[in-house]
Amino acid sequence: MSDLKTDLAALRIEREPERPSRGWIPWVLFLLVAAGGGFAAWQWATRERPVEVELAMASMRSAGTQAAVLNGTGYVAARRRATVSSKITGKVVEVNVEEGMAVTEGQVLARLDDTTQQASLALAEAQAEALRSAVRESEVRLAEAEVLLARFMKLFPAGLVTEMELDATRANADSLDARIDASREQVRVAERQIELARTNLADTIIRAPFSGVAISKDAQPGEIISPVSAGGGFTRTGICTLVDMASLEIEVDVNESYINRVTPGQSVTAVLDAYPDWPIAARVITTVPTADRQTATVLVRIGFLELDPRILPDMGVAVTFLAGGDEEQVDVTRPVALVPQAAIRTENGQSYVFVVVGETVDRRAITTGGRDADRVEVLAGLSAGERVVVVPPQELDTGTRVVPRAP
């Protein structure tokens, strides 16, 4: 018989030894991830951020192209422009001009009703003729009086006429002579009246004061025209408006801060708004020696070197004043790079710009030349097509990362 204790021991299940607990591992992993995230956030927060800057590309001015020192806008104006009117008030009976018609000096543009002037002239001529007849009558009577006076003077020594009769005859002759002088003066006055009447009659014919082109027709037959405004809105003050196309020029208002860049005789390039691809050579005529205190501008007159039928009065025009004055001599025999003046800094007499290379900037020394409007010539240190920083911030330096500023 087997031992019971031994049998019970055989039925016991052997268990593996207990292993130490690993519940701390997730916490370690969590701490590592948190530390890594914090380090990444610290790096992101302390990283070097790019600076937003305004960029401009260096342009190239071709050889032989003259530099500009100032730009402006203005209008084409005519130095000889007139609204042709009459010297008298009258009714228009004939108009011989149309818009766009070329007229010559002295050409008849219109006629007024001359009925009254014709009658006045006829009256003046009749009055003058009546006075001339009176003079002729007085001259005949004077001749008779002088014959009678001569006869009485021969008879007086013989006592055939009295002294009273002789004196009366002499007084009559002198009176007729004085009357003739007065009548002749009246004839001269009448002749002046005739000249005045003829002038008034001539004033009914309106002629062109100069050769030009009619740009407007302001009156029609049947309307009343007057040299002054009268009769409300029913009286015209002009027949037409004439413009002398040979007197066209440009008028530009230049800000008084830049008027020192404009000199008489300075070369100018003009471009009409209607023909943007047509540069016109021009030259400064003069600067009007006064300023407008309200707009702070000075009027500059510019003349075309050659006129063209496409140039019309009151057209808008953009002008570029070219360099070549006494202060700035610009070399136009070779191409040169141009950058905005605001992109250039100067330190210890050395000019430099910040050039964009990839995502960073490089501080580069340059040699500058003359000015071209709001740009500056770069003679060395920069090539056309490179991008430079405009108005560089104070913190900008070589190697600084930059991004273009949104427009």
Report residue 384 as tokens. Answer: 């056309």
Tell me which CATH code domain 68-79+245-322 carries.
2.40.30.170
Scanning the structure block, which residue is given the tokens 């001599």? 329
Residue 281 has pLDDT above 70, yes or no: yes
The whole-number average pLDDT for the span 114-122 is 90
pLDDT at site 39: 58
Q: In this model, does residue 310 exceed pLDDT 60?
A: yes
CA distances from 371 to 43, 66, 150, 341 (A): 46, 11, 103, 9
Q: CA separation (Å) from 103 to 92, 111, 207, 239, 313?
A: 19, 16, 10, 14, 17
Integer Cα distance of 324 and 337 in angstroms: 18
Among the listed residues 322, 319, 306, the one whose alpha carbon sits nearest the alpha carbon of residue 263: 322
- Enter the pTM of the model: 0.58
Identify the pLDDT of residue 226.
86
CA triple 318-243-239, angle to 5 deg? 135
Mean pLDDT of 107-115: 93
CATH number for the domain whose boundaries are 53-65+331-404? 2.40.420.20
Q: How many residues does the chain have?
A: 407
What confidence tens digit (pLDDT) does each residue in 210-235 have? 999 999 998 899 888 888 765 555 67
**Which CATH fold would you assign to the domain 82-113+204-243?**
OB fold (Dihydrolipoamide Acetyltransferase, E2P) (2.40.50)
Question: What is the helix, strand, coil percentage profile of the chain, to 5?
Answer: 30, 35, 35
Question: 68-79+245-322: same fold as 53-65+331-404?
Answer: no
Biggest CA–CA distance in the chain, Å, is 235
Question: Which run of H or of E encompasses 353?
Answer: strand 350-357
In this model, does residue 382 exceed pLDDT 50? yes
Which one is predicted more confidently, 319 or 335?
A: 319
399, two tokens: 């190697």
The C-alpha atoms of residue 318 and residue 122 are separated, in whole angstroms, by 60
- Residue 56 is predicted with a pLDDT of 83
User: How sure is the predictor about 314, in pLDDT bands with cuts at 50, 70 and 90?
Assistant: very high
In this predicted structure, which of 121-130, 204-213, 230-239, 317-326 has the lowest mean pLDDT? 230-239
Tell me the mean pLDDT in the region 357-386. 80
How would residue 373 be classed by pLDDT, with cut points 50, 70 and 90? low
Q: Residue 397 has which token pair? A: 């330096």
> Which tops the pLDDT comparison, 202 or 384?
202
Q: What is the residue extent of each domain of the chain? A: 53-65+331-404, 68-79+245-322, 82-113+204-243, 115-200
Higher pLDDT: 11 or 156? It is 156
Average pLDDT over residues 300-322: 93
Greatest mean pLDDT among 29-38, 133-142, 206-215 lies in 206-215
Question: Is 54:361 a contact under the CB 8 Å cutoff?
Answer: no
Taking the C-alpha atoms of residue 99 and residue 216, their distance in angstroms, rounded to an integer, is 5
